[in-house]
Structure 1
Amino acid sequence: MTVLTDFAGTGVHEAVQDRLDAFFTDRISLAAAYGDNYRLLWEAARSASRGGKMFRPALVVGVYRDLGGSDDDSALRIATAFELLHTAFLLHDDVIDRDLIRRGVPNLAGSFAADATARGATEAAAETWGQASAILAGDLLIQAAQGFLARLSVSAGIRADLLDLFDRSIFVTAAGELADVAFSAGVRLPSLVDVMAMTEQKTASYSFEAPLKAGAILAGADAETLTILGEFGRLVGVAFQLRDDQLGVFGDAQVTGKSVLNDLRNRKETPLIAHARSTPRWAQIEEALEILGTSDSDGTSVRAALEECGARTFVDSLIDDHVARAQSLLDDSGLPATLRGHLRDVARHAVVRAA
């Protein structure tokens, strides 16, 4: 990805992957003493960590270097922690959404469920085995990510600030995930404001705000810089998730590696759906969603209705607004010119991507 390579510099993806491989190799070796199932769990977790874009590590390292940092080992350790956290959240998110595919191949829950079925387990038992395995793997990776930060060779103050930042990002993301489940399950009927708040909590905090601020904290940045980076990350993170929601309905499954039906069938509450509910077409859309959930429909009628009621255009306008505000924030800031340029590229790329 050229934008992130230009930002963080060449070799960051490979350096983080090397650290991940070393970590998983160690864990797999230790897990063997506790039985084949536990070893296989760690091997599957390693597979889950591969194939991502690694833009969170790039944000950490890019900000750190643009602010004059030179301790690449510490920056890469923080970057690795964020990638482990991201993998953990994906594992948990797939269980919540009952997805069995990630990046075009069976995810951890899916592969463990398939293995259980092959051994003669019932469908219910295989599902339980797959979901429990994914939950445990995610838990283990969150703990490991925090361990990467706790062992940094930095001052006690910087370490504490980084751990606090990491803790808050997990705290906020969990709030967003809980709200997402409540809305999708019909526990609570959300307004557009509610859905936008959930969108911000679920993605912006750990994917953009925290990585940007982590690189700045390691570089010894002042409070004003941290505030600017945090707000920029919030705005771009929301735009990124809005684009992700669109790809989950209108994207190309061959490119995204995810089904374009699951979000609709699971009645995921996104700004697309929240806006559609406020239009005269909602009764028709709701009926089409009900049919989609119990049939082999390809979702064409739902997507067409979302286009016709203006939901897709409305979300496009939200994306444009958030990116424009992020760009304006950079223009008015005192951030170094190189960093401002890189962040502008990040903002643009976050919303024009196809996957």
Structure 2
Amino acid sequence: MSSTGCDEALARLLDQGRVRATAIDPHHAALWDALAAATEDGKRLRPRLVVATHDSLGGCLSLAAAEVGAAVELLHTAFVIHDDVIDDDHLRRGRPNVSGMFREHAHRDGAGPEATGVYGLTAAILAGDLALAASLRAVATCGAPSAVVHCLLDLFDVALHTTASGELADVRLTMAHHEVSLAESLAMEEQKTSAYSFSLPLQAGAVLAGAAEPVVARLGAAGRSMGLAFQLLDDLIGVFGDPALSGKSTTSDLRAGKQTPLLVHARTTAEWEQVRRLVGCDLDDDDLARVRELLTTSGSRAFVEDLAAQHLAAARSMVEEAGVPVELLEDLEASTSVLVGGREAAA
């Protein structure tokens, strides 16, 4: 499964934006450099889903599929940039992200700490906005028939609304004065990840291929299960993973008190009082080791692993029923790794 066409389309979209920006102001052009850097090193899972689904369902709009795949990747980049703003993170994959890069620019120019922070925050918000606008423009100009384009824009609109709802819920639940239920936590995770990362590319590929509505709907359901499984595994990476491999902090979720199913389940166990004392704090290596031990002995880690496996199995079944090769899902499962239960497992 190749994303070469999507890579070329993405590079072209970024170049077009950079040309427009350079004609306006060099500082604005630097935003596009940072945006381009934010797209690097990704596994291109979402574009590959678009193209593979389109191809497996007998589609004949290969160029449009590549454009839409690039659009989905830009949408992902926009959400990643804005998510870092929400989490006040200035590193991504072990190097400065958009806000981190512009904080460095401001610092070199002699700005004080407050101005440095504001400049980084401003740049990240604007870069995410630019990526979002470029994503929608790419869909509108992808070259597919008008009716297909309208359908694609509807899919993108649903994904945007659903993901925004999930992001807001993620923050809202950390402030909750009640005990967050597992259903609330899972609903938040499904909205935050499934809609744009899995349902959208699967359904976009099917629409581009001219698939019947029941197939498109089935792939949307498969995407929801797939996305929830991958978010659950991402939660595990956020505590048990290796930052050198994942580029993801293993303490930020705990420090922020994220109401992930991992913590929601832990609250029902005898180990919770010990876990609770370490949530919402800056953790050193010993603290992290202790939390990992508690979340393992409590059964919370195994609970999340099992739940992820159930959703992956459901997604695999629905993908097969829709006529998309199951190898697509298997390839995605192998694309990212996290140490789970003493072995390398997909995430």
**Shorter-chain-normalised TM-score: which range?**
over 0.9
Q: 1:301 maps to what in 2?
A: 290
Residue 163, structure 1, aligned to residue 153, structure 2: yes
Q: Does 1:20 align with 2:5?
A: no
8 Å CA contact 1:240, 1:351 repeated in 2: no
- Quick one: structure 1 residues 269 and 286, their matched pair in 2 at CA, closer, same or farther if it must change by over 3 Å? same
Aligned partner of 1:249 in structure 2 is 239
CA contact (8 A) 2:190 2:228 kept: yes
Q: Do the aligned partners of 2:13 and 2:134 also contact (CA within 8 Å) in 1?
A: no
For normalisation by structure 2, the TM-score amounts to 0.92
Aligned-residue CA RMSD (Å): 2.0
Matched residue, 1:75: 65
* Cα deviation digits, residues 122-161 of structure 1 (max 9, x gap): 2222112111111111011111111011113222211111
**1:316 to 2:305 alignment:** yes
The unaligned stretches of length 5 or more in structure 1 are none
Report runs of 4+ in structure 1 exceeding 6 Å deviation: none
Q: CA deviation at 1:346?
A: 4.5
Deviation at 1:71, TM superposition (A): 2.0
Q: Which amino acid aligns with 2:50?
A: V
1:57, 1:79 within 8 Å by CA — same for their partners in 2?
yes
What SS does the aligned partner of 2:326 have? helix
2:278 is paired with a residue of what secondary structure?
A: helix
Q: Which residue of 1 aligns with 2:334?
A: 349
Q: Who is 2:268 aligned against?
A: 278
**Distance across 2 between alignment mates of 1:227 and 1:350:** 25
Q: CA deviation at 1:179?
A: 0.2
What is the alpha-carbon distance in structure 1 between the residues aligned to residue 48 and residue 319 of structure 2?
A: 19
Indicate which of 182, 185, 188 corresponds to 1:198.
188
Query: 2:124 matched to 1:134?
Result: yes
In the alignment, does 2:32 pair up with 1:38? Answer: no
| Farther off after superposition, 85-94 or 303-312 | 303-312
Q: What percent identity do the matched residue pairs reach?
A: 40
CA apart distance, 1:29: 2.4
2:202 corresponds in structure 1 to: 212
| 2:315 alignment partner in structure 1 | 326
Quickly say closer, same or farther: Cα 1:32–1:297, change in 2 above 3 A. Answer: farther
What does residue 175 of structure 1 align with?
165
Quick one: structure 1 residues 297 and 31, their matched pair in 2 at CA, closer, same or farther if it must change by over 3 Å?
Answer: farther
Code of the residue aligned with 1:221 in structure 2: it is: A
Q: Residue in 1 aligned with 2:49? A: 59
**In the aligned structure 1, how far is the partner of 2:196 from the partner of 2:99?**
23
Paired with 1:19 and 1:120, the residues of 2 have a C-alpha distance of: 38
Task: Please report how far the alpha carbon of residue 67 of structure 1 lies from its aligned counterpart in structure 2 after TM superposition.
Answer: 0.7
Change (3 A) 1:41 1:67: same
Shift of 1:263: 1.3
Conserved 8 A contact 1:101-1:258: no
CA contact (8 A) 2:52 2:328 kept: no
Shift in alpha-carbon separation, 1:135–1:344, aligned structure 2, 3 A: closer
Paired letter, 2:17: R
**Which of 213, 216, 232 is residue 226 of structure 1 equivalent to?**
216
Whichever residue aligns with residue 65 of structure 2, its letter is A
For 1:250 and 1:96, the matched residues in 2 are separated by 22
Number of aligned residue pairs: give it: 340
Structure-2 change in CA distance of 1:140 and 1:230 (3 Å): same
